[in-house]
Amino acid sequence: MNDETVASFSRRRFAQLLGAGAAGAALGKMAAAAQQPLTGPNPIDRSSTGPTPSRQLHLVQGGMPAEVVRLSANENPHGASPAALDAMREAFALTWRYPDEHVDALVADLARAHGVAAGQVLLGDGSSEILKLCAAAATGPGRAVVVADPTFEAVLHFAQTAGAKELKVPLTPDFRHDLPKMLAAASGLANVAPGLFYVCNPNNPTGSITPKQEMRAFLARVPGDSLVLVDEAYFHYAESGDYESVVPLIAEHPNLVVARTFSKIYGLAGLRCGYAVARAELIERLRAQQPWDSVNIMALAAARASLHDAGHVESGRRANREVKALVCGELDRLGFRYIPSQANFLMIDLRRQVKPVVASLHQRRVDVGRVFPALPNHLRVTLGTAEQMQAFLAAFRQVAAA
């Protein structure tokens, strides 16, 4: 990197550029929290050349970032709660121990938080493991998986591996799950039972929600011998009055399992911790598929501390809301439409094939989401820090708005 061509880009400058001073204050607080040293600066991005050395994003001449800006994985660039980092430091001394009582402690805290019994919570090595357990328990030859298109595809992958048939039902034109059509498609299956319905709410990659009344009506109609997996990975970012978590509905629905994760609002994606909430009998069905102790002691310590830092969740939600407003404002100004997002990412309608744009952004060191075949004109971008989004917008103006 040539120092003469490197320009430092401040939060203040970003706020001036987009005409929104409110971003600075919240982001300053977030960045300060996430900068708590562990053994050095807390890196925010992975790049081809290693971790970003500091939180300040440097731009080279022409406004391009000097290192890769990763907006492709819906991570939380504000990082973990300082309390989680402290808890991990304390847990260093415990690495020789199996994590038994730490599992029990996190399960107890989660059960309390959700108002359920401890036997209704199962931890996973990321919520991906919960998805895998559901696919293993409920799909296979003769037992299909029913999903929306597009949606988060991990469960499809696991169900395919189990030998299941897959049914993909397009989202509605306004990007809700078409739950009546998912039910109809399942009831039309010959010689195959609908083993698993997967509903991602808010949905990845669209960031859209499926309204609560539709979810309730769907749950009331799903055949009792099919499992319903509602993936609430982005629960904390959803602020619409039409949205609700279905965790409280578990009491009424013995076939309902809800997946949550510590990878998003809690900023612990690298540690791998998620969980399921369901009726105890269903939890036992899932547990039967799982290795013992699949969550490590560091993840348990960090997750537990994160759970008790409500302020960190709230400031993360606020930062996401503010960055989303800034980016949407700029897209409005540029004349681009986007799917209203209830998550920490945004789907932008480019009105043309997105594939070459993704490649051009990559050349400018901005990584965005992959192409989703069901929406080939939509570009998914994670909502990062204000600085990262400024870098994204600079590149976007060159490649998409040109």
C-alpha torsion sign, points 368, 244, 153, 272: positive
Q: How far is the CB of 233 from ligand PLP (least distance, A)?
A: 4
Distance CA 394, CA 391 (A): 5
Residue closer to ligand PLP by CB (options 153, 330) is: 153
Q: How far is the CB of 52 from ligand PLP (least distance, A)?
A: 20
Residue closer to ligand PLP by CB (options 253, 260) is: 260
- CA–CA–CA angle 339, 361, 346 (5° rounding): 15
Residue 365, CB-side half-sphere exposure with 13 Å CA sphere:
21
Residue closer to ligand PLP by CB (options 214, 231) is: 231
Q: How far is the CB of 259 from ligand PLP (least distance, A)?
A: 7
Q: 143-161 burial by CB neighbour count: b if 16+ within 10 A, else e?
A: bbbbbbbbbbbbbbebbee
Q: How far is the CB of 344 from ligand PLP (least distance, A)?
A: 10
Residue closer to ligand PLP by CB (options 65, 369) is: 369
Residue closer to ligand PLP by CB (options 65, 202) is: 202
User: Are residues 81 and 306 in contact, defined by beta-carbon separation less than 8 angstroms?
Assistant: yes
Which CB contacts under 8 angstroms, 24+ apart, belong to 105-109? 105/300, 105/304, 106/295, 106/300, 106/303, 106/304, 106/307, 109/304, 109/307, 109/308
Q: How far is the CB of 74 from ligand PLP (least distance, A)?
A: 5
Q: How far is the CB of 343 from ligand PLP (least distance, A)?
A: 9
Q: How far is the CB of 252 from ligand PLP (least distance, A)?
A: 24
Question: What's the token pair of residue 229?
Answer: 């997996």
| Maximal CA-CA distance, the chain | 69
DSSP H or E run through 301: helix 297-307
Residue closer to ligand PLP by CB (options 126, 267) is: 126
Q: How far is the CB of 293 from ligand PLP (least distance, A)?
A: 17
Interface positions with ligand PLP (CB under 6 A): 74, 126-128, 152, 200, 204, 231, 233, 261, 263, 269, 274
Residue closer to ligand PLP by CB (options 267, 274) is: 274
Provide φ and ψ at 195, rounded to 5°: -70, -40
DSSP H or E run through 136: helix 127-138
Query: CA separation (Å) from 195 to 165, 175, 182, 217, 252?
Result: 10, 24, 13, 19, 19
User: Are residues 398 and 373 in contact, defined by beta-carbon separation less than 8 angstroms?
Assistant: no
DSSP state of 250: G
Residue closer to ligand PLP by CB (options 151, 390) is: 151
